[in-house]
Amino acid sequence: MAERWRPVWADIDVDAVAHNASILSGLAGPAALCAVVKADGYGHGALSVARAALAGGATWLAVALVEEGVALREAGVDAPILLLSEPPVEAMPEAVARRLVPSVYTHAGLRSLGKVVGDGGFPPVGVHLKVDTGMHRVGSDAQDVASLAQTIADDGALRLDAVWTHLAVADGAGPDDRDFTALQLDRFEATLDRLAAAGHRPPMTHAANSAGTIAVAAARRDMVRCGIALYGVAPTPALAEELAALTSGRRLRPVLSLRTRVTFVRELDGGERLSYGRVRSLARRSTVATVPIGYADGVPRRLFDQGGEVLIRGVRRPLAGVVTMDQIMVDCGPAGSAPVEVGDEVVLLGGQGAEEITADEWAGLLGTISYEVLCGIGPRVPRLVGRGEGRHPT
């Protein structure tokens, strides 16, 4: 409905997803590639991304929530799906029934999971035991890992399939960041040694996120978990160059572009102040275009304050006033200097002509990260999946 009546949409290039998965799986090999598709595929559409990533070389998927895994299963996705956090007790039955792979890191979680498997008559469930090596978000303390592994071994309903951890600053370029990543990997190795001494040898270990996959060869291990890079955005510009150097010049391709069309055009005298707050005046008589997208769709209000631009007819045009909930206004230059018409395409993220505006550009202006930019694009923006000339709603 939104696609039909409001000219705002996000193009999703699934060929770019497959291309990016191919680059990452080739770099990480022989390690497996796990495509992280949580948060509705970072706002791109989890199902479309999952299918394209699997076609491009991923063999695993990862989600944050049991609900996200269930949605993929109901859509017919059969690949292994890792839950990146231990499921709540009340979600354990659904996780088991849907063949989701649980991460675990508490005795209470293991007891609950084992009971669900045993009482339900399910075959033994393989779990991935997560250890905290310094991120301090979730995960078992290193001194508790052997006890947890023994609990798994003692429960005939469970099986230890993997041990894993998460890197906090693999994208950092400073010596402190590099040292801390090395420390995390050393702590991980020490934990695995303690497990081996206790008779527990998991068949799989994994530690690398997108940054670790690119920058830290020792972190690739048996599997890598790639999120942001799968969507065509390197964790940092420096890592984009490092990836290209490691892959004979192959580069990630952005998957999402955010587009709309001009719905109203008028000329206004110099000195006129536009939008809420009348914050800034026009420097001269100008053509101003109104565009039907706003902060309810994921265009941050601060983008105006920080000098945000859009593309119209291949030219960068600055915002002319504060971003409103449903609309923005664009300064298209001195009146009569360049034709801008109702129906012209407007690009907020993506390319037009020789110009391109990236999620990294927005992140730099806004003092945030590209992940937040992409995940912030609202649900009322239709995602249109396409290859070449064809596209369809997700």
Residues forming a β-bridge with 386: 13, 391
Topology (CATH) of 31-246? TIM Barrel (3.20.20)
Place of tokens 């770099």: 27
130 catalytic residue (yes or no): no
Residues 290/327, Cβ–Cβ less than 8 Å: yes
User: Which residue, 218, 222, 183, 181, is CA-closest to 202?
Assistant: 222
Helix, strand, or coil (residue 157)? coil
Helix, strand, or coil (residue 48)? helix
Structure tokens at 377: 């694009």
Looking at the chain, the domain(s) classified CATH 3.20.20.10 span 31-246
Topology (CATH) of 256-393? Lyase, Ornithine Decarboxylase; Chain A, domain 1 (2.40.37)
Residues 62/82, Cβ–Cβ less than 8 Å: yes
pTM: 0.94
Q: What's the CA gap between 181 and 178, in Å, rounded?
A: 5
Active-site option among 38, 42, 231, 295: 38
Active-site option among 42, 105, 130, 276: 276
**Residuewise pLDDT in 10s, the chain (394 residues):** 445 789 999 999 999 999 999 999 999 999 999 999 999 999 999 999 999 999 999 999 999 999 999 999 999 999 999 999 999 999 999 999 999 999 999 999 999 999 999 999 999 999 999 999 999 999 999 999 999 999 999 999 999 999 999 999 999 989 999 999 999 999 999 999 999 999 999 999 999 999 999 999 999 999 999 999 999 999 999 999 999 999 999 999 999 999 999 999 999 999 999 999 999 999 999 999 999 999 999 999 999 999 999 999 999 999 999 999 999 999 999 987 878 999 999 999 999 999 999 999 999 999 999 999 999 999 999 999 986 444 544 4
Q: What do you get for the CA distance between the two ends of the chain, in Å?
A: 13
